[in-house]
Amino acid sequence: MKLKDYSGINKITLEDFLSLNEEQAVRFDFLTQGEEADRTELTNSIYHKLFPWFDEKRHAGDTINTYRIAVKKYYGKYYRFLDRRTQLEIIGIIKKCTPHNDDQIFEFEETDKKGKPYYQLCNNYQLGNFFILPVQGGINPKRTQEPYNDFFDDFLNVLIDFYNNNDFKKTDKLKEAILSQKDYFKRFDSITDFLDKNYLWSFTKRIAEDTISLQNLSDKATFEEYVLAITDIIKQRGKELYDALKVNDNQSIADKSQANAKKYSLDENTAIQLTKMNEYRKVEEKYESIAEQYQRTSNKVNADFDSQISAEQARTFSKKLIQIGWWRWPLSWLVIQALKIIPPIRNFMGVINKIFWIALAIYIIYYFVYQKKFNKFQEDKDDKIKNLNEEKNQEINMIKNECQEKLDIFYKIHEFEFNFASIIPSEYQGANDVTQLVNFVETKRADNFKEAYELLENLKHHQMLEEQARRSAEAAEQEAEYKRQAAERETEYKRQVAQAKIENSERQAEEARNRSLMLEQQLMEQNQKLAEQNRQLEEINQKVKENKTNKFN
């Protein structure tokens, strides 16, 4: 059969698909909707309902588990180059392992460039085998290359490294592609968040603390073991996606209410309320998650731009201008004129005057050049800060608009579930409060929602009292710390005063000693002068006596 004779013949809507029962929906072959089974109108409508962030311009559907490269691994050649006997063996394995409809095809006829016909193998195109990836970056084709070979567990291991390793580097084409689209993957907080929001837990065997153990697909010994493993995953995930997609009409609410009444031993009215609140809680949590995700993105953009703006504001003009007050120039001129009265300087006044006028001229020229460059620098700086603020506002507004668009789409898709908010008082419509109310009833802490509201009110009152007590305790601790610091400052002040008094006394004593030594020195100098005068007087007297003796003789 030619692929064109099978694909796109009987297209159905999402409403038609959701009218199928679980078994029919899980085994439904999406290849009937178009040759690119993971990107048909039906699959895109499913992506919109399952993945609120899905944007057909940026993201595209992808088939998670494939057969064709696995066939080459286990049989040495691609399917089209194998002999017919081996091809039929492969078809037999897939048919045996995969739940399918009677009219489903597993291969189709193709023609190569030379006009020679050959058979091509169909992949599994059932609900549980689809998810989305960014279009840009080429992540999908790169995960089919060595050493990953389209085994999804190997791809998830790379993502685990991405989320857990800050040094995730471009060591191959797939990692390079992931890093080129890191903004997409960073919308998920961790690998567990990625698995949760993409409904990929069926690929794990267990989770212990932060360690995730993946089902081993790439190391299966035979093709049949591989097909069995991925079929089980596709089936489990298909049921999970179908449950997430299921239209919650009144009949399904009634069915779920009956199940809840039996499970939790509730009366009919309480069971209906529980069911509706659970349905509302699920969509409200996702709604809040979308808003929080975009808020984190907005905060990051805001912080990045603020950092750039702060750096720009801190940037200074690199050139230096020695600021000399204008009043110093006339003062200098007066000083120079006053120096004329000093004879030795008067001879150099011509040179001094020339130096003064040259210095003033250089300063004036340099001032205007500096001022011009400084003004240009300041204008450029102001323009850059203005542009950064405009870019920040534009990007944040774009994020807000995108967020609102996603929220509107999500609300429109889940309007039925959001309408259940009408049974909940407005003050308790937050996802956390609804979760608490549901938990009270499911754990039998409350027999009905009247009691559940009373419990929640008491819990909130208790939490408020605890918060007030905590804040009072913190205030008391802070006050005690302030008093302790004040006491320490007072003690330090007294110590400094005492030290100052000691230092002052020592300084006064030192000054007295210095004055005493100075007076003693002055006295010694005076005695020396007096002794010198006495010596000179003695010499004069001696000369007078000698003169008298000579005159008498």
142 and 113 both lie in a single domain: yes
Tokens at 283, concatenated: 């969509």
**Structural domain contains residue 461:** no
In 3D space, the residue among 211, 69, 216 whose CA is nearest the CA of residue 147 turns out to be 69
Cα(382)–Cα(393) distance, integer angstroms: 16
243 and 275 both lie in a single domain: no
Contacts of 520 (CB under 8 A, 6+ apart): none
Max mean pLDDT range (138-142, 403-407, 521-525): 138-142
- What angle do the packed helices 41-50 and 349-413 form, to 10 degrees? 110
Task: Say if residue 551's pLDDT is above 60.
Answer: no
Q: What are phi and psi of 229, to 5 degrees?
A: -65, -50
Dump pLDDT digits (tens) for 272-284. 999 999 989 988 9
88 and 215 both lie in a single domain: yes
519 and 379 both lie in a single domain: no
**Structural domain contains residue 454:** no
240 and 98 both lie in a single domain: yes
Task: Say if residue 382's pLDDT is above 70.
Answer: yes
29 neighbors 42 (Cβ within 8 angstroms): no
430 and 479 both lie in a single domain: no
Query: Following CA atoms 334, 335, 336, 337 in sequence, which dihedral angle do they give, to the nearest 10 degrees?
Result: 50
Planar angle of CA 138, 141, 147, nearest 5 degrees: 115
Task: Say if residue 210's pLDDT is above 60.
Answer: no
**Structural domain contains residue 373:** yes
Report percent pLDDT > 70 for the chain.
93
C-alpha 283, offset from chain centre: 24
pLDDT confidence of residue 514: 75
Task: Say if residue 552's pLDDT is above 50.
Answer: no
Number of domains observed in the structure of the chain: 3
Tokens at 200, concatenated: 């990929």
Dump pLDDT digits (tens) for 410-445. 787 777 888 889 899 989 999 999 999 999 999 999
**Structural domain contains residue 488:** yes
196 and 345 both lie in a single domain: no
**Structural domain contains residue 66:** yes
Q: Beta strand 204-208 with 211-214: parallel, antiparallel or unpaired?
A: antiparallel
Tokens at 235, concatenated: 């089936």
Q: What value does the mean pLDDT of the chain take?
A: 86
Task: Say if residue 164's pLDDT is above 80.
Answer: yes
- Give residue 169's pLDDT band: very low, low, confident or very high (50, 70, 90): confident
Task: Say if residue 324's pLDDT is above 50.
Answer: yes
Tell me, what amino acid is at 211? T
Helices (H), 425-448: 431-442
Report percent pLDDT > 90 for the chain.
43
187 and 280 both lie in a single domain: no
**Structural domain contains residue 187:** yes
Average pLDDT over residues 135-147: 90
pLDDT-wise least confident of 237-251, 305-319, 434-448: 237-251
Last residue of a domain, one of 375, 410, 434: 434
Task: Say if residue 406's pLDDT is above 70.
Answer: yes
Average pLDDT over residues 167-195: 89
Dump pLDDT digits (tens) for 23-65. 999 999 999 999 999 999 999 999 988 998 898 889 999 999 9
15 and 163 both lie in a single domain: yes
Report the SS3 class of residue 178. Answer: helix
Cα(71)–Cα(80) distance, integer angstroms: 10
240 and 384 both lie in a single domain: no
**Structural domain contains residue 186:** yes
19 and 133 both lie in a single domain: yes
88 and 232 both lie in a single domain: yes
Contacts of 379 (CB under 8 A, 6+ apart): none
**Structural domain contains residue 462:** no
Q: Which domain holds residue 520?
A: 473-541
Cα(31)–Cα(39) distance, integer angstroms: 10
